[in-house]
Amino acid sequence: MVKETVRVYARVKPLGRRQQAGIYSVDDNETSVSSLEIIVPRDLADGFVNNKRESYKFKFQKIFDQEAKQDVVFDSIAKPVAECALAGYNGTIFAYGQTGSGKTFTITGGAERYSDRGIIPRTLSYIFHQLQKDSSKVYTTHVSYLEIYNECGYDLLDPRHEASRLEDLPKVTIMEDPDQNIHLKNLSLQQATNEEEALNLLFLGDTNRMIAETPMNQASTRSHCIFTIHISSKEPGSATIRRSKLHLVDLAGSERVAKTGVGGHLLTEAKYINLSLHYLEQVIIALAEKNRSHIPYRNSMMTSVLRDSLGGNCMTTMIATLSLDKRNIGESISTCRFAQRVALIKNEAVLNEEIDPRLMIAQLKKEIQELKDELALVTGEQRTAELSQEELLRLEELIERFLEDNDPESILDVGPDMRKIKYCFIHVKQLMNHSKISEKKLLSQHISEEKDTNIQAGKEELKKLKELLQQRDNEIGILCEEKKIFGFELIWLQYFLCMSPGCQEAFEVFKRDHADSITIEDNKQLLKQRSALGKNISDTIGTTGYHPGYKTMFNRLKGLKVEIEHLQLLMEKAKVKLQKDFELWWSEEATKLQSANILACFRTLPSSSSSIPLTGDSQIDADILAFIKARENILQKKGKSFQKIRGQIKTSSTAFQSQNSFIPHLY
């Protein structure tokens, strides 16, 4: 049993405003803890004489600012808990703070850069890497992803989640056994045999999360999510199984309704979020009080699920995310006070071991039979009759199977009959005397066969990796061609707009000025570098063949495969986001012109613009004018003249009518 208090860390946002804002300071001089001091500026509206407190000081295990890299945060916070989970202890890591303070970024990570991976993907990578290194045990890994939205639980890994409405999905309910252990009904456990499968399940769950825009945060998570990793391990031949679970919790952000000004269903969501966080705080307060007999776990679904994590059989770590802006001083102080109360909770983590009943029954039966055989030998039950021919043939078959069996733990069981035991010794001696293969020859032949098998297996695996790498090279080549990435997938545009070369120019300018263009280029370059490195390693393995460094280079090639697939996923997400942003901007321009009766306005333009030809069809003419307006906005932004726009649009329209000769010329 391991007794320890909950470890509490802090992550401060924004970065580098200590001198500018003057409202907080960090002291890292102490040996084991760090101190955070929050200074509240005096409000002169309350008068010069008031008793309001101006300074608050809190202690944490460690304080991270916004400059802290994600790998540093993982090594300090999540890695020790993951090691305990591999050893058989339960673990929990959860982030708490107001909305927009960085909880989801810390737990899940950012989707733009590979280095922005959060605690969950890094923990999965670390766990599966450790499992590959440990060959002394047999491991089984499952994951589950629970979403608590408006006090109702849903399975984020349910295949119907994306295609069905939230109300139509089966709800996850809480069941409690006589030992007060919590079981979740309708929550699926998905097996993950490697890191790639686990990350795909994580991305599926993140896609199904409830996310909405609020005045405090453009992508606010509107639900509590608990990603759980279940690990079971067993040594070969042992009846003892170790089971552990690691909860990685991303809580929804607390927010003041009066400050956010939300309404409708967002207001309802905010009420449920604040209520569940209030019940969580009640549980924390009750656990911190001495001689408290009742802990209100059942008040909310979240506290019921996290019962073991709060004052139970678990090693728990909390991350308090702070947004230390002058407008958020009150929320930051409240978060720090909550963290200080959590630090007083004492958990008792025990090693989760249990006996496999099937293996235990088999072992007991085997032991009973062995005792019966020994008892028969001790009592001296001797038989004098000769063994029959069928019995002799049966014994020879048993001896042959025993000698051919390579298992060192195999036994020759002939029963408690001394006649059979003596015959087995005589027959084995005869076989050894007439053996034509010496021990030295057998040993050399075995070594040669094993070496040939290893080389053949290595060549086959190398061939598979080369084919996979060639496939990835083809995919990367497609992704790296900007026209193929973005040009052919803009099929949502209307027919005329797709035929016009001005639309492509508008998209190129929009893409160049987009906020994610630098990120896309960085990921593209990184993808090319990783692909080139993987190809070099593959060529090196192919030319050198099997050698002492083969295993190291092979593992490096596998790691590059995972990183290349992750980078491809990031570029796919950026591509979809860029496409949607351009579609929204383009449709807004068309709507503005159509609502203002663009066609009538264009016919009343001065004579300098009357040279622009129209088709006479109201819908097509409206599309032409929408395109003209969008092109004018783009070229004005780049400083080009309006006259050049008119000339290019006239050329585009004439080209369009020449390609569609069935449209009448009305000018």
Q: Annotated binding site for ATP: which residue ranges?
A: 97-104
Short-list 238, 236, 240, CA closest to 136: 236
The residues near 275 (Cβ < 8 Å, ≥ 6 apart) are 151, 300
Tokens at 41, concatenated:
């500026």
Q: Which residues pair with 227 in a beta bridge?
A: 145, 248
- For residues 486 and 484, give the distance between their C-alpha atoms in angstroms, rounded to a whole number: 6
Q: Return the H-helix or E-strand segment holding 479.
A: helix 439-480
Q: Which runs of consecutive H residues, i.e. helices, occur in 550-617?
A: 550-595, 598-603
- Let me know: does 14 contact 66? Beta carbons within 8 Å: yes
Task: Report phi then psi at 102, rounded to 5.
Answer: 110, 25
Short-list 110, 25, 114, 98, CA closest to 65: 25
- Let me know: does 11 contact 64? Beta carbons within 8 Å: yes
Residues making up the annotated binding site are 97-104
- For residues 98 and 251, give the distance between their C-alpha atoms in angstroms, rounded to a whole number: 10
Tokens at 52, concatenated:
């309001």
In residues, how long is the chain?
Answer: 667
494 burial type by CB count under 10 A (0-12 exposed, 13-18 middle, 19+ buried):
middle
- Let me know: does 121 contact 70? Beta carbons within 8 Å: no
Q: Indicate the pairing of strand 7-13 with strand 63-64.
A: parallel
The residues near 483 (Cβ < 8 Å, ≥ 6 apart) are none
Report residue 331 CA to chain centroid gap.
Answer: 29
Residue for token pair 């085997």:
366
3-class SS at 452? Answer: helix
Tokens at 172, concatenated:
């996850």
